[in-house]
Structure 1
Amino acid sequence: MNRKTLVLPAVIGLLAPVLAACGSSDSGGNGGDAIVVGTTDRFTATKDAPAPLDPAYAYDVGTWNILRQTVQTLMVQPRGDGEPEPEAAEKCGFTDTGNERYACTLRKDLKFANGDAVTASDVKFSIERALRIKVDGGPEALLSTVDTVETKGDREVIFHLKTADATFPFKLSTPVAGIVSPDDYAKDKLRDGFDVDGSGPYTLESEVKNGELVKAVFTKNPNYKGALTVKNDKVEMRSFPDDAAGMGDALDKGDIDMMTRTMTPEQIKKLSNASGDIDLIEMPGLEIRYLGFNTDDSSVKARAVRQAMAQIINRAELVSKVYGTGAEPLYSLVPATITGHSNSFFNKYGDPSTAKAANLLSKANITTPVKLTLHYTTDHYGTATADEFEVLKKQLNASGLFDVSIKGAPWKTFRPAEQKGDYEVYGMGWFPDFPDADNYLAPFLDKDNTLGLPYANSNIRNTLIPESRREADRLTASKSLTTIQDIVADDVPMLPLWQGKQYIAARDDITGAEWALNSSSTLQLWELGRGVKG
């Protein structure tokens, strides 16, 4: 195979994906065997989290990628990113000048997969259900600006908002706003297990072993009516939890047709330089990684301790040693490609400096070395996470100002412990709910934030976030957004580390793979088809 780099047509707002591949047909096509997709995401139902796929509960990129195939939303992010477009809705828009009243009209003859009609009352039920159940650290925070939901007839839904929210159309494109039926979902209780019923492009059949979903089979929904064009009849998603190598072997053998998150840096490098019948597709990514702080914990309660860590950590070295070309240093919670981004941490701290860090600690009368444990999850963000935390430990300890140890735990243990405040410092990743600066700030800094951070800044919560949401033009909102980022760099309740790229690897008879993952890490399985090998 002759490998080449193909730059696809430019997409709205971001660079186009780059495809290192042989030539193949773009025709796609239905029929034939199921297209099989591998992922290292783990899907478990436990006593503490028995309802992983309930739209009112699910709030991670893996479970959302299942819901996006099966549960329809009023709005959807378009193929090439940009402003959200109507999906279950025929049209949507603000009906006032203050961005506080948002109305949608449903498509005609909209149906659930079982053939029952989807009505405005189902939309009202779904939104109110998520708000009523209100899971701690859950996705209902995205709907926090909703005051009341009104219906007019079977097709019109009107959202009355508590405050202006120019980002609300984006929020209606997320699974927490997914439309479900009161016949399948209780109004005040989560639905346990791995069953999902909706009106999306696919129906779901789950294969479960020992409380863990090992295979999700998506079959084209014959009753689907929406904006998406479904280019296949069936897709299987197979889970290779914490086993990127096994997923890669399955692709090499032809047991799967495509693999997505998360590949190791070594796999990406190998596929970039190899020839064969597997195509590696690189695309812009909006994933970020950061350290979170329990600012109530005595070890990091002093701001100077957190500032000193920000002054010492060498992001460029971290990225180079662990992720290579697959990531870039990040100096704000907001990625560099998002409108409103500011390099606030670099502006405040500049290049890494042990001397400056020592001065910060000395002025605050902090005794050194400061003893800390950095916690990370072993099975949620890829196997390179352990290597990342080894580098962070070495950097901090080499300064002589810190005595750092690291400790890993599986996600099912790590996430509840983080939410309960058991960790003083911990590593997390963020895949955006939608590509707007607000979604990198409000989920962590507003009231009832997703991490349960004890840090609270009244100026951010009461003035700056509301100010930014009043501006439909996000460039105009940049002043408020920049001020928020500057405050975060000064107080350091979170410490951004890096921004990642995204990769898909697919056998070269699979078409549409370059569109199968958008900038928010949303799998768009409906884009996949089978063509002719190059």
Structure 2
Amino acid sequence: MKKRLSVLFSLMLVLSLFLSACGGFQKGDESAGEKGKSGDKAANVPQELHINIKTEPFSLNPGLANDSVSSNVLNQTFEGLTRIKNGKPELAMAESYEVSKDLKTYTFKLRDAKWSNGDPVTAKDFEYAWKWALDPKNQSQYAYQLYYIKNGQAFNEGKAKAEDVGVKAIDDKTLQVTLENPTPYFLELTAFYTYFPVNSKIAQKNPKWYTNAGPDYTSNGPFKMVSWEHNNKIVLEKNENYWDAKNVKLTKIEMVMVNDTNTELSMFDNGELDWAGMPTGQLPPDSLPKLKEEGKLHVQPIAGVYWYKFNTEKPPLNNVNIRKALAYAIDRKAIVENVTKGEQIPAMAAVPPTMFPENKKGYFKDNDVKKAKEYLKKGLQELGLKDVKDLPPITLSFNTDDQHVKIAQAIQDMWKKNLGVEVKLENAEWAVYIDKLHSGDYQIGRMGWLGDFNDPINFLELFRDKKGGNNDTNWENPKYKQLLIDSQKEKDPEKRKEMLKQAEAILMDEMPIAPIYFYTNTWVQKDNLKGVEMSGLGDVQFKWAYFE
């Protein structure tokens, strides 16, 4: 069933680069159809899901979270104005909405919903959460995701006041949002965790409400957190106060933190896990060929990229030719065939081919050692060094993980063999590692980026501002920045696409990042587990999941 305003939504999508990506708009209560699908089949089967999330989440405050581990928890426990299902945004906390003629003001009517402790979910909870994330004193890495809102960036940069931000609770059930520019994918953005509400009544009383399970950790999604053993396990249970609880079949989700891929697969084989692999965990790369041969392996290309970030303020990575030499000397085909083995696509571009199909080819040739040596020679000359032997060892950092280790070791060998560059490897647990990257305490660091919404700008805007929340490279280019700003105002889809391609060309020429491969999700699951919602962006939702 289409929503009454689907015609208006379709008109909005004319501005979008990818019409089919957003599609129509579905009603949130359409999930009632799931009852007939699972219904009695699930009645006599224990509805408890056991998964692995590998490591401790960075933060379970939607305004501070900035990683997939946190996302995998928050997407089960919280809910925004919309929710993504079958690749399309559907109504969630919002019961209806209206859009102004200039497509810049949204007025959302909230449904009758409660927090897990019984408090009503109000428009003020949304206004509070969004302004809290934008408040510079809270240092939200994802504040820039709210820059689409009028004066959001100005407030975050200390150039405007909180009351100037274009989000306002008109009354308990009415939220008015004014944007800087028409944003065709705004209803996808409101499904992202930075746009989740927070129980303002509790958060104002207890600023550390989100650090432990307990009466103050309230959420508004299909599940609630009942225990959090740090660095060990998180347990969720069905949230009986959730507005759509009748369509939630799982009664419990146990999330263990096992950061060893072989152990994860063994736990699955032993029946301790119902799901092993991405996007919550990871399978051992060496196991993938056999699992595929046995017909157990699930593989799904997603809008995500694995890359190395260069700290462009740390010598010798402050030299563009050194960066290009290192990027060109990587044999990506060898990595995906011999190390990752998950049908990943070698990446010679920043934006995944799911958004820019031409990026399967990319901006440079894979494993171009000849060109890499030319850039190295030029870079050494610019640094006043006679020979590569005069170049101090470069430190390559990554978070503790079997696959990251193997990729780093392979690239370390390639840089030594192809360029004569000495590389030291450094690993750290996730929380420590991400802090080091954000504080600039690294030379080269690995990172993955999964699309937050289905538009190329989500991959390019990361590097728009030197001090942008998730940049870490300290790179900034005025022309690049202006192209992204102008693209936000361009109504012609083809002209906008060309602007974004020009920006990507600048990024790939100055190389603050070295793309390695485009992601696929690879996993195994119990045969009777049904209804898991996997998006093309690589995230997972268990709202509709059940055991048959």
Fold match (TM-score > 0.5): yes
Give the number of aligned pairs. Answer: 486
**Partner in structure 2 of residue 494 of structure 1:** 513
Q: 1:308 to 1:120 in 2, by over 3 A?
A: same
Equivalent position amino acid for 1:258 in 2: W
CA distance in 2, matches of 1:94, 1:53: 31
Partner of 2:119, secondary structure, is coil
**Partner in structure 1 of residue 162 of structure 2:** none
Task: Map Cα deviations across residues 288-312 of structure 1 (whole Å, 9 max, x no partner).
Answer: 1111111111211111111112222
**Partner in structure 2 of residue 6 of structure 1:** none
**Partner in structure 1 of residue 171 of structure 2:** 153
1:245-264 equivalence runs, <5 A: 245-260=262-277, 261-264=281-284
**Partner in structure 2 of residue 119 of structure 1:** 122
**Partner in structure 1 of residue 87 of structure 2:** 81
**Partner in structure 1 of residue 371 of structure 2:** 356
Partner of 1:186, secondary structure, is helix
Alpha-carbon distance, 1:150 to partner = 1.9
CA contact (8 A) 2:396 2:423 kept: no
Which of 478, 482, 486 is the equivalent residue of 1:458? Answer: 478
Task: Map Cα deviations across residues 481-524 of structure 1 (whole Å, 9 max, x no partner).
Answer: 10111001110011111012112311222222xx3432223221
Alpha-carbon distance, 1:405 to partner = 2.6
Q: 1:474 to 1:169 in 2, by over 3 A?
A: farther
Equivalent position amino acid for 2:56 in 1: F
**Partner in structure 1 of residue 239 of structure 2:** 221
Partner of 1:176, secondary structure, is helix
**Partner in structure 2 of residue 373 of structure 1:** 394
Which of 433, 456, 459 is the equivalent residue of 1:414? Answer: 433
Alpha-carbon distance, 1:26 to partner = 6.4
CA contact (8 A) 2:298 2:523 kept: yes
Partner of 1:217, secondary structure, is strand
Task: Map Cα deviations across residues 114-173 of structure 1 (whole Å, 9 max, x no partner).
Answer: 222222222212211222265446222211232321232322211123344444322211
CA contact (8 A) 2:223 2:237 kept: yes
**Partner in structure 2 of residue 320 of structure 1:** 337
1:57-76 equivalence runs, <5 A: 57-76=64-83
Decide which moves more: 53-62 or 432-441. Answer: 432-441
**Partner in structure 2 of residue 101 of structure 1:** 105
Which of 33, 37, 44 is the equivalent residue of 2:46? Answer: 33
Alpha-carbon distance, 1:228 to partner = 9.7
**Partner in structure 1 of residue 457 of structure 2:** 438
TM-score for the superposition, normalised by structure 1: 0.84
Partner of 2:203, secondary structure, is coil
Structure 1 residue runs of 5 or longer lacking an equivalent are: 1-11, 15-24
Alpha-carbon distance, 1:335 to partner = 0.7
**Partner in structure 2 of residue 449 of structure 1:** 469
TM-score for the superposition, normalised by structure 2: 0.82
1:243-322 equivalence runs, <5 A: 243-260=260-277, 261-274=281-294, 279-322=296-339
Q: 1:215 to 1:405 in 2, by over 3 A?
A: closer
Alpha-carbon distance, 1:344 to partner = 9.5
Report 1 or 2 for greater relative contact order, CA contacts < 8 Å, sequence distance ≥ 6: 1
**Partner in structure 1 of residue 7 of structure 2:** none
Structure 2 residue runs of 5 or longer lacking an equivalent are: 1-19, 23-36, 152-164
Q: Does 1:404 align with 2:423?
A: yes
Identity of aligned residues (%): 22
Q: 1:352 to 1:270 in 2, by over 3 A?
A: closer
Task: Map Cα deviations across residues 456-494 of structure 1 (whole Å, 9 max, x no partner).
Answer: 111222x21122223577555211110111001110011
Q: 1:184 to 1:137 in 2, by over 3 A?
A: closer
**Partner in structure 1 of residue 188 of structure 2:** 170
Equivalent position amino acid for 1:223 in 2: N
CA distance in 1, matches of 2:440, 2:199: 36
Decide which moves more: 140-149 or 480-489. Answer: 140-149
Q: Does 1:42 align with 2:55?
A: yes
CA contact (8 A) 1:30 1:231 kept: no
CA contact (8 A) 1:40 1:243 kept: no
**Partner in structure 2 of residue 7 of structure 1:** none
CA distance in 2, matches of 1:434, 1:167: 8
Q: Does 1:343 align with 2:359?
A: yes
CA contact (8 A) 2:133 2:140 kept: no
CA distance in 1, matches of 2:43, 2:539: 22
CA contact (8 A) 2:348 2:366 kept: no
Q: After TM superposition, what 4+ stretches of structure 1 lie above 6 angstroms from structure 2?
A: none
Equivalent position amino acid for 1:103 in 2: T
